[in-house]
Amino acid sequence: MATEGGSGFSIHPMDQFIVKPLFGDGPVQWYTPTNVTLWMGIAILCIFGLFVLATRHRGIIPTRLQSVAEVFYGFIHNMVEEVAGHEGVKYFPHVMTLFLFILLSNLLGLLPMSFTTTSHIAVTAVLAVLVFLGVTLIGIARKGLGFFAMFWVSSAPLALRPVLAVIEVISYMMRPVSHSIRLAGNLMAGHAVLKVFAGFASMAVVAPVAIGAATAIYALELLVAVVQAYVFTILTCVYLKDAVGDAHH
Amino acid sequence: MATETHGVNWHAECLYDAGGAKGMPQLCTDWMPNQVFWLLVALVVLFLILSRVALPRIGAVLAERKGTITNDLAAAEELKLRAQEAEKAYNEALATARTEAAKIIAAAKAEIRKDLDEATAKADVEIAARVAQSEASIAEIRAGAEEAIAVVAKDTAKELVAHLGGAADARAITTAINARLKG
């Protein structure tokens, strides 16, 4: 980075999250192609390669890559069917889109010099709001006002129900917040820590420890990348169940 | 980038003039429209790729495979049933053949027994005849032998008497010898 002076030791763990224009040095307008564009594009190309190019033979006996694509398909399809119910399968392509986008963004972000699009709250917030709005609209479209019955806990004593309804509404409204911050926070923290350890690796005294720690954190981050994509997706399915399943609260 | 001169810092809210991040870049509102715009573009593109091409294709492949496997299993089941039928028919044929063989063996045994009995009876009759004949011969021989003994005894007695100097009375000697032989 430009701030690296002659002192030789400077750690800038947050610089990796800066959004930069791909071409030139102008301002970042809403339409400017930036590193966000680049890494989202790479993620889409990877998914295209795995799910379109690798499956082009439509083999009854699959090739290796085709069976990988089939494993993802089966995994998410089962998750939607088991968690959201049979009615939720209609939204399988939407859930699959979310899962693959987050998974690939997370994993590509672990490449050195790359940019992690899902470490930005602006990105995960849009994803979470899309899920929130989608689930709410689907619920209202399918059940009408009956959708709001999920806030009215009919199994609780009558006196408690208004209080519980308030709590339920608040918790429902907080869903997109926790949903998005969980993902962005996990990735941002992991990448920042990784960068800090990498920075310490330039000091000869602590370099062995720092490199060892960075390696360990990297392994952990690989796990986090997959687990957070999984968590985001399964929560989406859980929310979807409220909209399409039988409301039993 | 160290040699690059930053004529204008377009995002002074978020970046130092030298280019480093101020605080968390995640909270820089200048960049958010850009991120949101490209995210929506990416999601739409990805959704179209997946829902129009990739997922129907994989779903079709999986369904086809499942169908093939089901058909193969059904065919295998049918073949197994046919094999069982064939085995049953074979076992039946085997049992019939065994019964038949047992019958044939019993018939053959009965025939042999009959032949054997006949032969034995014939042999017995023959043996009885031979025995009777032999007994007759023996009786004849014995009678002959007694007569010969009497003749020899008379002759010997006559000779003895003659040698002792007496005149043998033939009739007396015969009577004496007959009495001795009977005694």
- How does pLDDT run across B32-53, given as a tens digit for each residue? 999 999 999 999 999 999 999 9
- List the single residue in A37, A48, A60 with the smallest CB-CB distance to B65: A60
Cβ atoms A76, A96 nearer than 8 A:
yes
Which residues neighbour B142 within 8 Å (Cβ) at sequence distance 6 or greater?
A: none
Residue at B30 is within a domain:
yes
Q: Which of residues 65-84 of B touch A (CB under 8 A)?
A: 65, 68
Q: In sequence order, what DSSP letters do the residues of A56-76 get, joined into one string? A: TT--SS--HHHHHHHHHHHHH
Q: Which residues of B touch A66 (CB under 8 A)?
A: 61
Q: Which residues have C-beta within 8 Å of that of residue A170, sequence separation ≥ 6?
A: none
CB contact under 8 A, A17 and B64: no
Question: 0.90 cut: is pTM over it?
Answer: no
- Cβ–Cβ below 8 Å for B4 and A25: yes
A96 interfaces chain B, CB cutoff of 8 Å: yes
**Cβ–Cβ of A3/B4 closer than 8 Å?**
no
Listed by start position, the domains of chain A span 68-244
Residue A26 reports pLDDT greater than 70: yes
Burial of residue B26, with CB atoms counted within 10 A of its CB: 0-12 exposed, 13-18 middle, 19 or more buried = buried
Mean pLDDT of A185-195: 93
Any CB–CB contact under 8 A between A113 and chain B? Answer: no
Is B128 inside a domain boundary?
A: yes
Whether the CB of B5 is below 8 Å from some CB of chain A: the reply is no
Q: Is residue B1 part of a domain?
A: no
Residue in B with minimal Cα distance to A188: B26
pLDDT value of position B153: 85
pLDDT band at B1 (very low <50, low <70, confident <90, very high): very low
Residue B5 above 80 pLDDT? Answer: no
Choice among A36-45, A53-62, A155-164, B5-14 with the minimum mean pLDDT: B5-14
What confidence score (pLDDT) does residue A189 get? 94
- pLDDT, average across residues A81-94: 93
Q: What is the pLDDT of residues B96-141, one digit of tens each?
A: 999 999 999 999 999 999 999 999 999 999 999 999 999 999 999 9
Confidence of residue A1 (pLDDT cuts 50, 70, 90): very low
Helix (H, G, I), strand (E, B) or coil at A156: coil
Question: B70-108: per-residue pLDDT in tens?
Answer: 999 999 999 999 999 999 999 999 999 999 999 999 999
In chain B, the number of structural domains is 1
Rounded CA-CA distance A3/B179 in Å is: 174
Are residues A93 and B51, on separate chains, in Cβ contact within 8 Å? yes
**A204: closest CA of chain B, how far (Å):** 24
In a domain, residue B2? The reply is no
**Could you please report the per-residue DSSP string of A192-225?**
HHHHHHHHHTTSTTTHHHHHHHHHHHHHHHHHHH
Domain that holds residue B153: 25-182
